[in-house]
Amino acid sequence: ESIGKILKSNFSLDTTPSIMEMHVNGLIVFTEIALGLNREKLYLLKYRLQELLDKNKINEPKIIIMMTNIKLTFIDGSNLEVLIDNILEDKRIKPKNVKILSFDTFTKELVKGHPLYKDIEVSDNMNDIINSMVDASQGESINEIVSERILSVDDHSTQESSIEMRFMNDNAEGVISEQDSGNVLKVAIVDDDVVIRRLLEKAFAGVSAKSVLFSNGVDFMHAIEDQEFDLVILDIYIPDINGFDILRTLQRDNFKAPILIYSQATMRDAVVKSLSLGAKGYLIKPQKADVIVQKAMEVLHS
């Protein structure tokens, strides 16, 4: 508005709140987008991407666009095209090497029906995307690759190989920092799937919650001896101690924090048993991360 007054002409900008974060692991560039698609910022994306590719001397890059917490409609179609077109503008990037991680139906339909995007894959499964991009001859499991090479970026690599862009509407609420949020919600996530743990951690960070991750029941049970949690996300089928035994022990010990079950167990008996042992809610895998966060908030406020 101020620029428009100076130029004495109409001058408008897209004020959609948007967070974009990019980092490199090997030949893979991860582009994470949250909150929304801001048109002006999408145009800047190609320059940020070119900078990363040049700095890391990547000639045949593979791009993973992560938009797991964004739900789009036909109104957003042109902005989605701007996003993909700006990524493909760099001639080093081939459409077959671009993958989109999204739970959004509209995103899948637009990409599938667009003649220029026919080689781009949209999936809601990170393991499938990594499988298609990582050389199997390396002999690593998908979980190891996700944990060690994708989700773990040390301080040095973050400085050299990442770019973060946060664009917020002046009138919109951004992500509240831990320093400013007072009492930060503390969530225990107990699941043996590293991808689920990391996705939930990012989702809860979006509501200013701190997550503590556990890959097995034993570590979680040890942790609650000297840590307090506001909420527990628990899988039924985990190593060492199954979820039912954990629920039974916590019920006996009068554990105070509400427990939300997130499991592949679909049998009615499993649901009834979990609720009878004190669980406050039950969600069957897979679910969108924001659905789990929403359910968690309902459980906390019930």
Assigned CATH class of 18-167:
alpha beta
Q: What is the pLDDT of residue 149?
A: 44
Q: What is the pLDDT of residue 261?
A: 94
Assigned CATH class of 186-301:
alpha beta
CA distance 160 to 141: 27
CB 238 within 8 A of CB 191: yes
CA distance 162 to 153: 9
Q: What is the pLDDT of residue 165?
A: 53
Q: What is the pLDDT of residue 180?
A: 37
CB 92 within 8 A of CB 60: yes
| Helix segments in the chain, DSSP class H | 2-7, 39-55, 77-88, 105-113, 126-133, 142-144, 155-161, 194-205, 217-223, 243-252, 268-276, 289-301
**What is the CA angle 195-198-201, rounded to 5?**
150
H or E element that contains 282: strand 281-284
Q: What is the pLDDT of residue 145?
A: 46
Q: Mind listing the pLDDT tens digit of every residue in the chain (302 residues)?
A: 555 555 555 556 777 888 888 888 788 888 888 878 988 888 888 888 998 899 999 999 999 998 877 888 888 899 999 999 999 999 999 999 999 988 889 999 999 999 999 999 999 887 778 777 765 444 444 554 444 444 443 444 444 444 455 444 433 333 334 343 445 789 999 999 888 899 999 989 888 889 999 999 999 999 999 999 999 999 998 888 889 999 999 999 999 999 999 998 888 888 889 998 999 989 988 888 888 888 888 888 76
- Edge to edge, the sheet with strand 28-34 lists 121-123, 98-101, 62-66, 28-34, 18-25, 162-167
Q: Domain coordinates of the chain in residue numbers?
A: 18-167, 186-301
